[in-house]
Amino acid sequence: MRPHDFQLSPGKRSQRRMAAIESAVNVVAGYLINVWLVYVVFRWLGYEVAMSESAGMGVVFAGVSFGRGYIVRRIFAGRNG
């Protein structure tokens, strides 16, 4: 195979870029909800959680969420041509 055989067509690049953007927007929204929810729920359950701790946990969850969302989107995009 030649090197250019592995290059993506402009349409495929655009699909992948849009999948990444969609996943990132979804993750940012989820991150903000998560930081607030962890802070409120943990305090309601009696745990003393600082907003910075909640934010730190949110970063981990957001990274996993981004990867999961992107992979699922790509799987479905691949099945639909």
pLDDT digits (tens, 9 = 90+) for 23-79: 788 888 988 998 888 888 989 999 988 888 888 888 888 888 888 888 887 888 777
Residue 47 lies in a domain: yes
pTM: 0.57
Domain membership of residue 28 (yes or no) is: yes
Range of the domain at 59: 17-79
Q: How many domains does the chain have?
A: 1
Distance of CA 55 to the CA centre of its chain: 15
pLDDT of the residue at 3: 53
DSSP letters, 20-79, are HHHHHHHHHHHHHHHHHHHHHHHHHTT----HHHHHHHHHHHHHHHHHHHHHHHHHHHHH
Q: Is residue 59 part of a domain?
A: yes
